[in-house]
Structure 1
């Protein structure tokens, strides 16, 4: 059964709407993650959020709500330990990020081992299940998407300046630490929103992959953002179609599609094109290669 042939099923329509919203959200936020080299920090946030899911299950509250609240705590800890400014840069930040990644995930597993009977349900949040998303999950994704896109648009100039020249941003009088904290919270909100669909493990691929692919083709931030959102949506739709056609895990199919887009783009960009393939090595050095800011 193909994807369009199964649109009559309510769960398929919900899954399709969810992956479209997530494609837009993750693509837009992923551009900031890639430009600031925060992929490792984003990975740490996805893993460190897992204890919130376990605590929410123990307390009997919503799992996504628990992940969100714990995620805010994790962001606050990272911001305090790294001084927030220049998050993602430097040896100190890398060390803090590594500790948060390992410690957070280990805490989740330790909490999960304290009780029996619900480990299977919580494990689903590690890989997600887009075909079982509820209407409330879709509403949460839609609200998060609107809020995050609004913040990205409103702070576009400041965020771009902070990504390329944080020193100039500080010299201009902008609150650098506050802006970095807002960005970390947006990344965490995106991670938490992605949990029901792709889980804590694969959320980082949906955030970083489309943006990294777009950067291979685009030099402008605006164009890069638009292309990243398109790739994110296409990855979700194609992955869902593959899942329906061949009865494979939807989350895995979506992430594999993201990886395929990136791999094909990377290979295509590395191929010699036109006259550049015949240009002498000395001339190549004098002309130089295009760079991405």
Structure 2
């Protein structure tokens, strides 16, 4: 028996959505960080904006419009990236600026009154059961991708040349990764919008990477940080009467800053232990170092 969303009020719906979106962003964010696709993800979040605006103008599903735009612009980016004199960074830059400009243009020429801000920074307090179902579906798909193809994704991420030498095709895991990232960007748009989506996707995974090295532990820690960012950000928006999308993105960024601080403090004792060990092996050399650098 499915969950009866009509029994939940708007804040309970929003809380359920941020939990699912935080978990999804964390799971897929590990893929983004390990494959170094943060800039591409930022470009893709902007590229979904015109699709969302066009869908609102036509009166069709906004996630569907965003998904179509994402697929189309991924094709454009892949085409630009294959030009010998260009590259992935150039393709992502073109996609970012062109996508956002096209969205702004469509919004300016339409006679309809469109709430563009909800597309840009999200409107999680207005989510529906359909939004929650979509996020849950994409989360299930992302977990299935990791379960079935996780080793291929990791192998091709850390050693693409070795992946080729093993007789495997790198474009297959790359296409799979891009599809999952695109689906995530579309699914979390109601939570953090087209502009702030990259913060929820990248920051929790980047924070997890500072704290753990094993990708399996990253897959546990990153979703936990993503969920915590969503929940704390939503409560902060309620207490402080601020935009929920911005609050969630700020909490995610703060989590990254905290992880960096913890990682730095943890590295200092290790550095001090190495110095102490060197002093025991060669006290004279250590004394010379101290004399030169009091």
**TM-score band, normalised by shorter chain:** 0.7 to 0.9
Are 1:102 and 2:87 an aligned pair? no
For residue 77 of structure 1, report the CA deviation from its aligned partner: 1.9
Are 1:157 and 2:156 an aligned pair? no
Tell me the TM-score normalized by structure 1.
0.87
In 2, the alpha carbon distance for the partners of 1:267 and 1:100 equals 34
- Aligned partner of 2:20 in structure 1 is 21
Change (3 A) 1:171 1:23: same
Change (3 A) 1:277 1:183: same
For residue 63 of structure 1, report the CA deviation from its aligned partner: 1.2
Cα deviation per residue 1:210-254 (whole Å; 9 max; x = unaligned)?
Answer: 000000011100001110011001111111111222222111111
Are 1:115 and 2:114 an aligned pair? no
Instruction: Give the greater-gyration-radius structure (CA).
Output: 2
Would the aligned equivalents of 1:214 and 1:228 in 2 still touch at CA under 8 Å? yes
Task: Using the TM superposition, name which of 71-80 and 211-220 deviates more.
Answer: 71-80
Matches within 5 A, 1:170-181: 170-181=164-175
| Unpaired stretches in structure 2, ≥5 consecutive residues | 1-6, 280-294
Are 1:148 and 2:142 an aligned pair? yes
Would the aligned equivalents of 2:81 and 2:90 in 1 still touch at CA under 8 Å? no
In 1, the alpha carbon distance for the partners of 2:95 and 2:276 equals 46
- Aligned partner of 2:189 in structure 1 is 195
Matches within 5 A, 1:225-236: 225-236=219-230
For residue 175 of structure 1, report the CA deviation from its aligned partner: 2.5
For residue 154 of structure 1, report the CA deviation from its aligned partner: 0.7
Task: Using the TM superposition, name which of 48-57 and 135-144 deviates more.
Answer: 48-57
For residue 83 of structure 1, report the CA deviation from its aligned partner: 4.0
For residue 151 of structure 1, report the CA deviation from its aligned partner: 1.1
Task: Using the TM superposition, name which of 94-103 and 165-174 deviates more.
Answer: 165-174
In 2, the alpha carbon distance for the partners of 1:64 and 1:281 equals 58
In 2, the alpha carbon distance for the partners of 1:117 and 1:58 equals 7
Tell me the TM-score normalized by structure 2.
0.87
- Aligned CA RMSD, in angstroms, stands at 2.2
